Amino acid sequence: MMNTKKLMAFHSYKGGTGKTTCVVNLAALYASLGLKVCLIDFDIYAPSLTSYFGASPKYYIHDLLSGEAGIHDVIVDYSKKIKFDGELHIAFSSPAKEDIHSVKINYDNNFQLKALKQLLTIKRQLLEKEGYDYILVDTSPGIRYWSINALATADILFLMLKINNMDINGTKTMISEIYDSLTRYGLSTKLILNKVQGASPFNAYDQENFNEVQTEIENILDLPVFLSIPCFCDIQFNRDEFLWALNKPEHPFSMKLREIPSLLEEIK
């Protein structure tokens, strides 16, 4: 049977929860498994993929939304630049101030509705006509117009948070204000706890204590935890963390990310 859970978006209440890190690495992992993947930078307000990939494409998501470019103008094929068994195609968001401003201020109702329809059309085109296996979408944190639009097209939402009361409370609000209504249209939300406790000068790592914390969060948010990823200083403080999951496959972070495809298979 065809797997219909094909558009996965990463979102969080706060920035710095690891959305970009996880979405890029998961996209690359799927491509390395032989699949055809489209990675879209929908963090319109603070894009980061141009910097991550050192890219300066001719067209951006902004040109697509304004009608100045088609989806094929925007998508860049990375399959030749990085060796994969499969394919990785990337649509970048423009980091230029005037581009960010131009999509930010366009709150005209007609434009909004058109943009959402356009996203749904592109989703269908890529998945049904062009043989993409997955579309992975990075978004801006918080309740932002473009993020909600991206989430409205998603089948799976990876909701990321750090274990911190501000994150937990904000996430709880977002669950009741956005996700719950999208769930009625078939969105499946998966909670990812990132940067969970490692050893600190004051506490040694304690799995049992962490299980307690995890259960507490599940109770507060009324969602099971899909995956917990520890905090690794070598990732946080490495200047070059490019495609870590591919380049350092034996690293525990990479092993954690490799659990995602199989976890999704199991619960399909």
Ligand X SMILES: Nc1ncnc2c1ncn2[C@@H]1O[C@H](COP(=O)(O)OP(=O)(O)O)[C@@H](O)[C@H]1O
What is the binding site for ligand X (CB under 6 A)? 12, 15-21, 194-195, 229, 231-232, 235-236, 241, 253
Smallest distance from the beta carbon of 219 to Mg ion, in angstroms? Answer: 28
Closest CB to ligand X among 37 and 71? 37
How many residues belong to the chain?
268
| Residue 94 interaction partner, one of ligand X, Mg ion, none, beta carbon < 5-8 Å per kind | none
| Residue 194 interaction partner, one of ligand X, Mg ion, none, beta carbon < 5-8 Å per kind | ligand X
Residue found by looking up tokens 């507060």 in the block? 220
Q: Binding segment for Mg ion among 13-21, 64-72, 117-125, 234-242 (CB under 5 A)?
A: 13-21
Binds Mg ion by CB under 5 A, chosen from 8, 11, 17, 20 = 20
**17 forms part of the interface with Mg ion (CB under 5 A):** no
Closest CB to ligand X among 47 and 71? 47
Burial class (CB in 10 A: 0-12, 13-18, 19+), 225: middle
Q: Binding segment for Mg ion among 11-19, 143-151, 203-211, 213-221 (CB under 5 A)?
A: 11-19
Smallest distance from the beta carbon of 54 to ligand X, in angstroms? Answer: 16
CA distance 134 to 38: 6
Among candidates 21, 15, 39, 51, which has minimal Cα distance to 248?
A: 21
225-230 and 188-196 strand pairing: parallel
**12 forms part of the interface with Mg ion (CB under 5 A):** no
Helices (H), the chain: 19-32, 49-53, 61-65, 71-74, 97-104, 109-124, 145-152, 165-174, 180-183, 207-221, 233-236, 244-247, 252-267
Closest CB to ligand X among 89 and 162? 162
Residues 171, 162 contacting (CB under 8 angstroms): no
Could you say which residues in the range 45-74 bind Mg ion, by CB under 5 A?
Answer: 48
Q: Which residues bind Mg ion (CB under 5 A)?
A: 19-20, 48
